[in-house]
Every structure is written in structure tokens, then in C-alpha cells.
Structure 1
Amino acid sequence: MITWFKDGKAIAKRYVWEIVMAAHDIFIKEESLVDVEIPEGVTCDVIGDVHGQFYDVLHLYKLTGPPSEKHFVLMNGDLVDRGSWSIEVILLAFAYKWLYPEYMYINRGNHEAKDMNRTYGFEGEAKHKHGEQAYKLFAHVFTTMPLATLLSASKPPSSKNAAILSPDGRRRFFIVHGGLFSKDGVTLDDIRKLDRVGRQPGQEGLMCELLWTDPQEMPGRGPSKRGVGIAFGPDVTKSWCTLNGVTGVIRSHEVRQNGYEIEHDGLCTTVFSAPNYVDQSGNKGAFIRIDAEGNREYTQFDAVPHPPMKPMAYLQGGLSSLMMM
């Protein structure tokens, strides 16, 4: 399938439906917060936004390696929109999820949503390549995707430091596309119990905030530059991590020129995996590798050439100026 896609070909519609329905049957059994433990001798790579940049995703998978028994992959939302190969990206990710459900994990992003897909290209691309019914199927399956992942080390850390640990002394990371909340006291169980299936993120509430919020340098909470969600400060992050025994929050949702940025006194890390975003940002991409002790390693990479197709080619009017969404 990868070779077929690289050659600019589309797979038959019946295969598209089979892959998407297979992913659906796995997602629907997962909770809104998925618990993943990294066994000894295993690593897990956390990948941020890739936004339909298929050729960069292929390069990224060469760096990470495919999902396997010794190597987990966690994609942290915004697989689609903007880039004009969103179908290829999402089908590849869903195929890996079908093949390796215990090694491949995918969180929902704010772009796995109907209103964003209409505005930023995925709806037009899906209909152009595989028809309206295929788009409707994708739109529903997006609502079954988990909202966050709790990634736990299986071994206590060998280096003793001041990190916040789980109740049993292990590092664990809350992986979510957007970030934290407009109110204090939200627990991991509150997130687990969210009823997500068939629902869009909306403009408020926990699901919206999980997919839309951003960190800010100032303490406390502030308005979002996006007009949706909020901005949360380092004190909010520390309080939430302490309450829930979480070593750190890993989130995506924003371009970082170096591909990643460690913020909030090390408790919040942003990772973004679409290099030279929409062919004009000039940023690096990055991913984070986490081992069985919860140690983190950061890898940066540059964009690779792709066929001559502009971002959002399937959207009438072309590239939107609303870059921050």
C-alpha cells in the first residue's frame, strides 16, 4: 500500500472501508483515556501533528521504525487536514492500528472533527478520492478515537530526581493533543469516563479542552488565541500533575520551530512532527522516544521533497490564512 501511495495511486474503495472499519472496531473498545505500559526492552515514540504530509510521514517512520513488539508508536492527533495527502496518512495509520493494535496508538486531535475537515481540506480530499460515503465513515470513526493516553514506565527510574512519580514510584506521561483544563480538580478517571463516541469536540467542556488548549508562560489561566479553549500556565500544570501523579504532559497542537519545546519547568512538552509546515513555516519536525524507565530522547528531522501539489489542494480557494487553527 505504501508503494502504491508513493506512486500517486489510490487503493480501491472496498479496501478503504475495510481498513477504516477495522480501526473502528479497535477504537470502540478503548477507553477515552488509554493506559499503555512500556515493558522492559521496549521504546515508545510519541509523534505530534503530521497534517497530511505523507512523504514526511514516510521519512518519519523510517526514523522511528514501524510499530512492533519492541517498539510502540503513539500518534498524538491532527493526522489530517492542510496537507494534501491526508487520506494516505490516515489510511496508513489505521492500517498499522489494525495490524498492531497493541503496538500502535492514535489520539484524536482537534482536526479529527467535522468543522475542521470542512474548512481545512480533508472533507474535500476524502470525497474526491473515495466518495461522500467514505468521508462520512471517516467522520464517524474519528469520534471513536481515544482522547488521551497515559503512558507509564514499567520500571522505577534509576536516577533519583525531583520528578513527580505515580503512586508506585514510576514515571508516567499524559499524552494529549491540546492540553489541560479551565477548572482545577480534573482527574484521570474523569477523562476515562468521557462519552466521546459520536460526539464532536464542541466549544467548551473537557473534550474540547483536551483537544484545543495551549500552554502559556504566565501563571493561571488566560483566553486562548484561537478563540476556542483556554491557555494554562505553569502553576496549573504543576498542580494537575501533582494531583494525578503524572511526571509530565506531552502535547502537540502548535508549531515549534525546533520540532519540540520543553515548557513549564519541564512538566509540559510540545512535540510537532510536520516539518516545513504547509510548505512555508521552515520548522523542523520532531518525535520523542520514551523507554521503560521513562527516560526521554528527542529526535529532530527536516522536510523531504514531495510531488508538486500545494497544501489544501482539494479545498476551493486553496491555502487558508487561518494558520493557527
Structure 2
Amino acid sequence: MEPVPPSPITWPDGGGLTNEWVHGLMSSFQWSSWNLPPSQLPSLLPVSVFDSLVLTASKILHKERNCVHIDGLDSESNVVVVGDIHGQLHDLLFLLKDTGFPCQNRFYVFNGDYVDRGAWGLETFLVLLSWKVLMPDRVYLLRGNHESKYCTSMYGFEKEVLTKYGDKGKHVYRKCLGCFEGLPLASIISGRVYTAHGGLFRSPVLPKRTTRGKKNRRVVLLEPEPSSLKLGTLDELMQARRSVLDPPWEGSNLIPGDVLWSDPSMTPGLSPNEQRGIGLLWGPDCTEDFLKKYELKLIIRSHEGPDAREKRTGLGGMDKGYTIDHNVESGKLITIFSAPDYPQFQVCIFTPSIIAFS
């Protein structure tokens, strides 16, 4: 016998979410994932409720700084950092139940890539938004490279939303894109741990200006040479313009793209990330410089699953869900990945990882 379907979700009077409401949302999404075709999701989550949740969460997210500082932890506090989830709703629900739901002494930092490549990206993102609204100073949602128009149009999220919401799908998709723009780029936990989806970033350098042509002279912007790349500062990160649908790969606003798309390397220095066409590669010397300058002990990033690491030499594989990529004098750089069935439904099961510390 099929379980009794839950009632359609309603937005609470006054707009204040409760623990009961958030748990009800998770239970409803779990039920619908097992019992409803995707196109029937609006019968459970009306567009009006979606709008209210995304609007409320967006107002909170847009007020946060590019790099959120998570302070005020005491001896009873613990912090859980979660890597890529990629629409794997059931694994997110298990993670929250198994590790412990957010509460007064349990902080969560989600390191981006909530959507694409999994069947339940929308539900996954909305569950996280509901926790953000309920506990805004205990749950932190950072942006990943897949929280962009380009990636979601290429890797499944746009199609997922249009399938689930039909003629209202474009509206739902646009609202999600607007919410993505408000997601912070990085976090610093207790002044000791830096987290970001991709990692480190360059100091912005304005392109050089020159002119071409004698009769019709026009200004041409020349991109800086790779040799001029310099590690960026936290002040520069704070000043970057993050509210863009797609982080640019050229121009003066390169920090968002670097933070979301960059990868570590065993080669010293900074260099363009030619394989991705955006972002940087940075070496152990850059990790050491960044840790030492800001008196940090650890950098946690995500962004690379087992498929990505198979193509890169000199760095550890992701079959255990994490790797220690740089082990330098001042601390470590760790990559974590939290989607165990990736790419989903291709029988590529591996051990997912999170990082929990007190």
C-alpha cells in the first residue's frame, strides 16, 4: 500500500518558519521523490510557496558579505563543512539526520554545487534555503560554479525545473538564478579556516588600454600577461561584485570566477586554468602565503569529483571523498566532495566526505 500523500505545503502565517515546517518540507520532498512523477511537484509545492521561500531566503543572502565570518563558537560548538551535493536529495537528508540537524551548537557551511547532474536539484536547494531562513546564523550557503546560468543550462537544472513546473518553469528558473546571485563566495570559520568552492583567487589588474587603426582609432583592452598574476587579498575579495549570473572569465571582475572555478596544482605560482577556460591553478607556495598572511590553519574547497581528479596528475584521487592536496608549513589544503552517486545513476558509487570539527 502506498503511504498517504502529504497535504500541499502552505506558507506559514506571518512568514516565520519553524523547525516543524522545515522537517515537513523535507519529508514531503522525500515522499514525492518516491511516489510522484516530476511534473506533479507543483501539486505538493505551489509556486506561491516557492516564491515566498526564495524571496525570504534571498533577502537574507543578499545582506551577507562576499566572505562571511563565522565567529562566536565556544567549546560546545561544532562546524560541519559539506562539499558538492549535485541534486542528491536523499543523501542530503541522510547527512543531516546522521550528522545532526543545525542547532544552537551545530553550524553548517555548504560549499556550493547544490544543483545539476542530479535529479532533485530544485528540492535540494529549497531544503537548504529553508534551513537558511530558519537558522540564518547557523547555516551558511556558499556559491558553487554550478549556481550559474551557464552551468544550469548545460548540465540539467534548467531542464529539471521546466519539467517539474511546466508553464511556470521559466518563472521558477529565473527566481533560482536571482537567488544564486546572492550566495556569498567564501567563509572564514573562527579566524582559522577558509572555505570556498574553488579556492584562491588573483589580485585584480585592470586590462591595459591601447588604440588600433589610424583613421578610425578604437580602444582595445589587453588582458594581463600570466606572469603578472598575483595572489588576491581578503579585502579584494570583499570588494568583488558577486551579483552576476555568470562569473566573467575576462575583464576586471575576475575574483568571483576564480573563487568558483579555480583548482590547486603541484606547480608553484599562479597560472590560467586552461583546462576549464576560467579561473586559476595555484601551487603550494600560494597556499602557504595565504595561510600565513591571514594566520589560517586550513583551506577547505570542493569543486572536483572523482571524474575530474582522474584527469589530473600529481594530485590524489577522490575515491574516499577527500584529498589533502597541499601540506605546507602553516597548514593544509583539503578538497572534499559530498555526492556519493556521481554522476548520478551511472553506478559510480564512492565514499562521500564532510569535515566536522569543534
Name the SS of the counterpart of 1:146 in structure 2.
Answer: coil
Change (3 A) 1:236 1:198: closer
Cα drift, residue 257 of structure 1: 1.2
Change (3 A) 1:47 1:66: same
TM-score (norm 1): 0.80
Which of 263, 267, 273 is 2:325 aligned to? 263
Name the SS of the counterpart of 1:250 in structure 2.
Answer: strand
- In structure 2, what is the Cα distance between the partners aligned to 1:245 and 1:193? 21
Cα drift, residue 199 of structure 1: 4.5
Q: Deviations over 1:2-55 (max 9, x none)?
A: 121112252111111111111101001101111101511110100000000111
Please name the residue that 1:79 is paired with: 114
Change (3 A) 1:215 1:289: same
Name the SS of the counterpart of 2:95 in structure 1.
Answer: helix
Please name the residue that 2:52 is paired with: 18
Please name the residue that 2:262 is paired with: 213
- In structure 1, what is the Cα distance between the partners aligned to 2:272 and 2:242? 25
- In structure 1, what is the Cα distance between the partners aligned to 2:132 and 2:301? 21
Aligned pairs (5 A) from 1:86-101: 86-101=121-136
Name the SS of the counterpart of 1:267 in structure 2.
Answer: strand
Q: Which runs of 4+ in 1 moved over 4 A?
A: none
RMSD, matched Cα: 1.5
Query: Does the CA-based 8 Å contact 1:75-1:107 persist in structure 2?
Result: yes
Please name the residue that 1:178 is paired with: 198
Name the SS of the counterpart of 2:54 in structure 1.
Answer: helix
Cα drift, residue 249 of structure 1: 1.1
Q: Deviations over 1:188-230 (max 9, x none)?
A: 1211122212452121411100000011122223443322212
Cα drift, residue 284 of structure 1: 1.1
Tell me, yes or no, if structure 1 residue 234 matches structure 2 residue 296. Answer: no
Tell me, yes or no, if structure 1 residue 281 matches structure 2 residue 281. Answer: no
- In structure 1, what is the Cα distance between the partners aligned to 2:236 and 2:141? 20
- In structure 2, what is the Cα distance between the partners aligned to 1:285 and 1:142? 24
Identity %: 36
Cα drift, residue 239 of structure 1: 1.1
Tell me, yes or no, if structure 1 residue 55 matches structure 2 residue 69. Answer: no
Name the SS of the counterpart of 1:90 in structure 2.
Answer: helix
Name the SS of the counterpart of 2:189 in structure 1.
Answer: strand
- In structure 2, what is the Cα distance between the partners aligned to 1:58 and 1:133? 27
- In structure 2, what is the Cα distance between the partners aligned to 1:259 and 1:147? 22
Change (3 A) 1:125 1:178: same
Aligned pairs (5 A) from 1:184-195: 184-195=230-241
Equivalent pairs counted in the alignment come to 273
Q: Deviations over 1:224-269 (max 9, x none)?
A: 3322212111111111221222222110001121111112115211
Query: Does the CA-based 8 Å contact 2:196-2:301 persist in structure 1?
Result: yes
Unaligned runs of 5+ in 1: 153-170, 292-325
Tell me, yes or no, if structure 1 residue 34 matches structure 2 residue 68. Answer: yes
Query: Does the CA-based 8 Å contact 1:261-1:269 persist in structure 2?
Result: yes
- In structure 2, what is the Cα distance between the partners aligned to 1:231 and 1:195? 21
Query: Does the CA-based 8 Å contact 1:77-1:110 persist in structure 2?
Result: yes
TM-score (norm 2): 0.73
Name the SS of the counterpart of 2:257 in structure 1.
Answer: helix
Unaligned runs of 5+ in 2: 1-24, 203-228, 306-317
Bigger relative contact order (CA 8 A; separation at least 6): 1
Please name the residue that 1:151 is paired with: 189
Name the SS of the counterpart of 2:63 in structure 1.
Answer: coil
- In structure 2, what is the Cα distance between the partners aligned to 1:221 and 1:34? 25
Which of 138, 147, 154 is 1:103 aligned to? 138
Q: Which has the higher helix share?
A: 2
Query: Does the CA-based 8 Å contact 1:187-1:244 persist in structure 2?
Result: no
Tell me, yes or no, if structure 1 residue 254 matches structure 2 residue 304. Answer: yes
Change (3 A) 1:38 1:47: farther
Name the SS of the counterpart of 1:258 in structure 2.
Answer: coil
Greater Cα radius of gyration, structure 1 or 2: 2
Please name the residue that 1:161 is paired with: none
